[in-house]
Amino acid sequence: MKIEKIEIKNCRGINELVIDEELVPNKPNIFVAPNGFGKTSFAHAFKNIINHTSEKIDDDDRYNNDENNKASIEIQIDNNGQLENLRVDENNYSNTITRKFNISVITNPSFIKASSKNIGGRFHTKPTGKILINPIVIDKKVNKAEIPVTKSKLQSTFGTNGDKLFDFSVLFTNKLFVSYSITCLSEIQSICDEKTFKKLEEVRSKINEQNLPSSDICLIPELGKLINTNSKYKNLNLILSKFFNISEIKTFSLIWFLVYLCRNFKKKTVEYFEFERYNFYKKKLSSVIESLNSSKYKKASVKELQGELQVVIPEPKYISNGQRDVLLLVSFLYQVQLQLKGQNSILIIDELFDYLDDANLTVAQYYISQLIEDFKVSKRYLFPIILTHLNPAFFRNYVFQKQKVVFLNKEKYRVTPALQKLINVRDNPAIKDNVSQYLFHFNPNNFDFSSDLEKFNDVRSTWGKTGNFKNFLFEEYNKYKNQSSEEFDPLAICALTRVRIEEKVYSRLFEKKEEFLKQHKTGEKLKIALSTGIEIPEIYFLLRIIYDEGMHSSSEKNNTAAIEAKILNPIIKEMIIEAIK
């Protein structure tokens, strides 16, 4: 299954948002957009449809606060080549999205509690407030449940060799099995029919005919036939043998035990599985929270209160922001592990850790990776969507192995093919020095290497003559500066920013001019200028994130969308205009 498109209408700051990017399951998706774009509105729209048959939204949360703007979400999925449209809106009580997907939305749960403080006298009070975090409810408490029959009873029921085969007591000590247990129980129930059970009984009978030590019990033909003819059994056999690193005979005994339990004690077996899974994650969560308790004054804790498993977070004033955010994220991810039990799930994380330091951000990504791995193991689909205003290409904040970055703020821009090609071939020895010296850096001398550029298809040879390339850059800049309806080339803006900064600095030099021109790196040029004693505006250094990144774009690493997002930032745009004018 893949998500082909997401469309949201009329929710908070979103009038209409269409994301037509293919999202694949069990792979992090990083949605990048500037502050104020509507990332929280995106999360809010999905949060409003959880446990509802329609989009539940207050009038204040509709786009422009207009009651006529009805909110809706549409998702198009590709299910093995079959396109299916899912929808939920305010008018129709038919939520096909939550029929197909479990949804979880993680946002910052902090809130301000207002109060007043008496500062002397009956009518002299001062309003105050403090930030609080309610306990995070991980899941409902699951009551203790025992295995329906004793180990000795199971072994004797299996027969003569029952005591030599798989040790059922170690089942829920294996993390991989715990992750898989929901799916496992479902698949075990699919082979509980009388016909399949009869074949299992034939194999069990043959195993019991062997009066040998467990290490010498031989693979029998009936088991090989079962594996080769029953795809459901074959799949279970493959997964469980890998989890426990056991032989096919021991794997068979494990599967037989599980089938026997489901056939004879179905309800109690389900309760046993649910409790063991809950207990495993409870212990693990307690250990993780304890390891994250860096504050020695107030500590987070895991408690069972009011029929719920909760993580109690200290008041934010007692812990650092980074520790708070990591504790919250880990708590919510365990909540997702325990609560999202369906085949398909969508997880949305709204800027919960955009302000973490490098170490805590790495911790956060580790736990997200573990969650994804748990879904993979259990053969379920999770679509994690991380909303952020930080561009991973620049900040290098998200470094998942197989992440997909989607830029939501898609303005109109156009990369001139001839400029992209010129950037791609700039290191060709035939043109390298001239392109660097006269086109991508400032040089006051006249030049003509147009005949060299003619050798490269799709590169404008006229740019090899004095003034032509700079005129092209200014044409694109004027579209950008004047907010023209015409599309502009963001790479041209980067190039002109660099050239004009160098030109303005060069014009103020009284010495080291030749050394300045011979240097092929703008940063080094600025250092040369500083060494002469002149002052250089700070924005010339700050804008390196624009001109350096743009001039090293390539077809293999297309970062144009990231560059465009930067130069459209209103403050950065002011800086660029100031540098170029």
- With a pLDDT cut of 70, the percent of the chain lying above it is 92
Query: Model confidence over 157-189: pLDDT tens digits?
Result: 999 888 888 887 788 888 888 888 888 888 898
What is the torsional sign of CA 117, 121, 122, 124?
negative
Listed range (104-118, 175-189, 516-530) with the worst mean pLDDT: 104-118
pLDDT of 113 > 90? The answer is no
Distance CA 56, CA 509 (A): 65
Q: Which residues share a beta bridge with 31?
A: 387, 406
Lateral strand order in the sheet of 136-140? 136-140, 308-312, 301-305
Indicate the average pLDDT of the chain: 87
pLDDT for 537 equals: 92
More confident residue, 25 or 402: 25
- Band (pLDDT 50/70/90 cuts) for residue 351 is confident
The contacts of residue 574 (CB under 8 Å, 6+ apart) are: none
Looking at residues 230-247, what average pLDDT do you find? 87
pLDDT for 125 equals: 67
pLDDT for 396 equals: 65
pLDDT for 176 equals: 85
CA 388 to chain centre: 10
The contacts of residue 534 (CB under 8 Å, 6+ apart) are: 505, 508, 509
Query: Model confidence over 144-156: pLDDT tens digits?
Result: 999 888 888 888 9
Neighbours of 554 (CB within 10 A): 11
What backbone torsions phi and psi does residue 401 show, to the nearest 5 degrees? -65, -40
pLDDT for 323 equals: 82
Distance CA 559, CA 577 (A): 22
Distance CA 496, CA 330 (A): 46
pLDDT for 575 equals: 93
pLDDT for 121 equals: 59
pLDDT for 15 equals: 93
pLDDT for 36 equals: 83
pLDDT for 525 equals: 92
Neighbours of 84 (CB within 10 A): 13
pLDDT for 393 equals: 64
The total number of residues written for the chain in this structure: 581
Beta strands in 12-110 (DSSP E): 14-19, 29-32, 72-79, 82-89, 102-106
Listed range (40-54, 112-126, 561-575) with the worst mean pLDDT: 112-126
Query: Model confidence over 501-517: pLDDT tens digits?
Result: 999 999 999 999 999 99
pLDDT for 123 equals: 58
Beta pairing, strands 82-89 & 381-388: unpaired
Count how many Cα atoms sit within 13 Å of the Cα of residue 552 in the half-sphere of its side chain. 9
Tokens of 561: 């969308």
Continuous segment of H or E residues that includes residue 43? helix 39-47
User: Angle at CA 425, nearest 5°, toward 423 and 429?
Assistant: 130
Query: Model confidence over 404-457: pLDDT tens digits?
Result: 888 887 666 688 899 889 988 888 999 999 999 999 999 999 999 999 999 998
Q: Which residues share a beta bridge with 19?
A: 6
3-state secondary structure at position 219: coil
Tokens of 67: 């009651």
pLDDT of 1 > 70? The answer is yes
Beta pairing, strands 111-118 & 125-132: antiparallel
Distance CA 223, CA 285 (A): 40
What backbone torsions phi and psi does residue 128 show, to the nearest 5 degrees? -135, 170
User: Among 307, 555, 300, which Cα is nearest to 422's?
Assistant: 555
pLDDT for 513 equals: 93
Looking at residues 77-106, what average pLDDT do you find? 91
3-state secondary structure at position 329: helix
**Distances in Å between the alpha carbon of 568 and those of 573, 575, 577?**
6, 11, 12
- With a pLDDT cut of 90, the percent of the chain lying above it is 45
- Band (pLDDT 50/70/90 cuts) for residue 120 is low
Q: Write out 297-325 in H/E/C secondary structure.
A: CCCCEEEEECCEEEEECCCHHHCCHHHHH
Tokens of 204: 């069990």
Count how many Cα atoms sit within 13 Å of the Cα of residue 54 in the half-sphere of its side chain. 10
CA 323 to chain centre: 20
CA 443 to chain centre: 45
In terms of Cβ atoms closer than 10 Å to its own Cβ (0-12, 13-18, 19+), residue 308 is: middle
Query: Model confidence over 364-377: pLDDT tens digits?
Result: 888 899 999 989 88
The contacts of residue 296 (CB under 8 Å, 6+ apart) are: none
Distance CA 25, CA 346 (A): 9
Distance CA 347, CA 46 (A): 10
CA-derived radius of gyration, the chain: 32
Neighbours of 456 (CB within 10 A): 17
pLDDT for 448 equals: 95
pLDDT of 215 > 80? The answer is no
pLDDT for 560 equals: 74
Give whichever of 13-22, 290-299, 412-421 has the largest mean pLDDT.
13-22
- Band (pLDDT 50/70/90 cuts) for residue 207 is confident
Looking at residues 531-560, what average pLDDT do you find? 79
Distance CA 243, CA 239 (A): 6
Neighbours of 428 (CB within 10 A): 12
